Amino acid sequence: MTFETRDLTAAPGAVLLVRLGERQFGLPLASVERVLPMAYVVPVPGTGDGLMGMLNLHGDVLPVIDPRPRLGVPSPKIAAEHRLVLLKGSAPFLIWVDNVEEVTNVRPDELIVVPAQQASPLVPHVLRLDDTVVPLLAPSALEPRGTLR
């Protein structure tokens, strides 16, 4: 796996930039355990809320979330070049992304709180990176709901 790094230090303001369809999103690096290549995800019938299925990762069975439906982004066919991002939460889980782009450190002036009337639990902040506005996803809002274990 290769991705560019603007600053190699994983400071508290570091963000992992990922791509979902044509859109770029950020994930707080402090919530990211690691990035994995796409693997076979066992579908779980009758689940909703973006739960794609489960994946056996070194003996731990983890839920895999597709965040696209909740973000209004169409879900593509799964492809070998896609990635799974292992996130730390109340319990570890994976999210499916199209691509991992880079790690960047965020200066305080680049982080903007979404106004309360437009705020979403999924996107409480946006990043201003150069001329681009990037939604910063809240991993806690992406966590699978209910008991899966």
What's 99's domain CATH number?
2.40.50.180
**CA angle, residues 76, 99, 136, in degrees to nearest 5:** 100
For residue 86, is it within any domain? Answer: yes
For residue 148, is it within any domain? Answer: no
Domain count, the chain: 1
Cβ neighbors of 54 (< 8 A, separation 6 or more) are 41, 42, 44, 61, 62, 63, 64, 148
Expressed as residue numbers, the domain containing 102 is 4-142
For residue 149, is it within any domain? Answer: no
For residue 60, is it within any domain? Answer: yes
Report how far Cα 71 is from the mean position of its chain's Cα atoms: 11
For residue 147, is it within any domain? Answer: no
Q: Which pTM was predicted?
A: 0.85
For residue 122 the two structure tokens come to: 């999924």
What is the tens place of the pLDDT at every residue in 11-54? 348 999 999 999 999 999 999 999 999 999 999 887 766 899 99
Interatomic CA distance for residues 9 and 20, integer angstroms = 25
